[in-house]
Every structure is written in structure tokens, then in C-alpha cells.
């Protein structure tokens, strides 16, 4: 499995985006981005989301999972770290698994 640092560098090269541009567009500090790129430290979910937005890649792919690199367009922006994590995990599921989860959520909501 490719590391987050490797995937981040790959996406930066592909999109022709510099470390300075990521710092500017995400608001994440230069030293933090450096530690992510060196593989010393893994970003928190909220920073993974910000980086993925700038690089236009999926969170699951950036985290090294066998997932499509392309970022799916969301109709809403996650309001919390928990929502971002739910989206990232959901993207790792197969279409069949996603359908099961949607059915379960609908069942929970109908019982409220």
C-alpha cells in the first residue's frame, strides 16, 4: 500500500501544485505540510480533507487505499471531522455495501 506521503507527492506532481500553494490554499502550516511529505507525521482527518480538496483527489486514495484517485463531487461540504471521516469510509465501500449502509440509515431515520 502506498504511503500518504508518496501519494501526496504524486498528486502534487500531477496537478503541478507546490508545497507553498498547498500551505496557502489550505491554511495548514508549512512545517506541518513538510512533516506530511516526509512521512514523519500523518495529518488529521480535517487536514486530509483540505489537502484532498486542493489536490482534487479522494481521501481514500490519498490515505493509500486501493481506491480511485478521482475525487467525487459532493453536494454539501462536511461540517465536522466526523462527517469527513464518514465520507472517507463510505468511499472505501463497494457499491453494494454503500446500498446496504444507505438502507440502514433510512431505517434508523424512519424510526425517529
What are the boundaries of each domain within the chain?
Answer: 4-110
How large is the average pLDDT for residues 76-105? 82
The three cell numbers of residue 31 are 512545517
The CATH number that domain 4-110 falls under is 1.10.260.40
At 43 the pLDDT is: 94
The more confident residue out of 18 and 86 is: 18
What's the pLDDT band for 67 if we cut at 50, 70, 90? confident
CA atoms of 34 and 96, how far apart (whole Å):
38
Amino acid at each position: 500500500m502506498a504511503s500518504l506521503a508518496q501519494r501526496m507527492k504524486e498528486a502534487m506532481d500531477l496537478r503541478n501544485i507546490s508545497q507553498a500553494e498547498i500551505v496557502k490554499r489550505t491554511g495548514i502550516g508549512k512545517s506541518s505540510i513538510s512533516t506530511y511529505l516526509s512521512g514523519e507525521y500523518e495529518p488529521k482527518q480535517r487536514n486530509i480533507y483540505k489537502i484532498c480538496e486542493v489536490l482534487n483527489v479522494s481521501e481514500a486514495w490519498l490515505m493509500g487505499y486501493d481506491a480511485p484517485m478521482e475525487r467525487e463531487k459532493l453536494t454539501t461540504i462536511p461540517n465536522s471531522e466526523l462527517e469527513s471521516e464518514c465520507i472517507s469510509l463510505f468511499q472505501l465501500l463497494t457499491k453494494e455495501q454503500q446500498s446496504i449502509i444507505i438502507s440502514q440509515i433510512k431505517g434508523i431515520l424512519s424510526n425517529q
